[in-house]
Amino acid sequence: MATRAVYPGMFDPVHNGHVDLIERSRRIFDELIVAVVANPAKEPLFPVRERLEMIDEATTGLTNLRIISFDGLLIDLVARERADCIVRGIRAVSDFEYEFQMALMNRKLRDSVETVFLMPHEKYTYISSRLIKEVSSFGTSVAGLVPPLVEKRLAEKNPRK
């Protein structure tokens, strides 16, 4: 039986920790759907269209992968896509408490869907989109932390001071 997983997130912006989880998830599941949350209430730095483009470029050449956007409840998207699993990244214990709560709520809403927690490679455990945006906002290079296109787009939004 083929397995389909959804890896949801804001991806604002996508960074190398995200790409690492995407690459490793593809080896576990027959199909991976990277689902970009279109939640304007969170005031993202990049609009959905740009986030989709950056993920697409960062994953060029990868197979068994689809990149989509969504709004509303994740569990509804999982049902529409007929997915079996939700993939979530855990960098530290502090991530786990929130993710555990969300996994239990998703299980309550749809008990046939599992949540799988993956840890990124240890060289990415300290990276978050929030930190990337903060460091970049001061005009500091984020080379090696994000794909080259993301680095370029961040530099355009935050020219060196």
Give the residue numbers annotated as catalytic, written as ranges.
18, 42, 91, 129
Distance between CA atoms of 30 and 28, rounded to whole angstroms? 7
Answer yes or no: are the C-beta atoms of 38 and 21 closer than 8 Å: no
AA identity, residue 78: V
Distance between CA atoms of 26 and 150, rounded to whole angstroms? 22
Tell me the longest C-alpha to C-alpha distance in the chain. 54
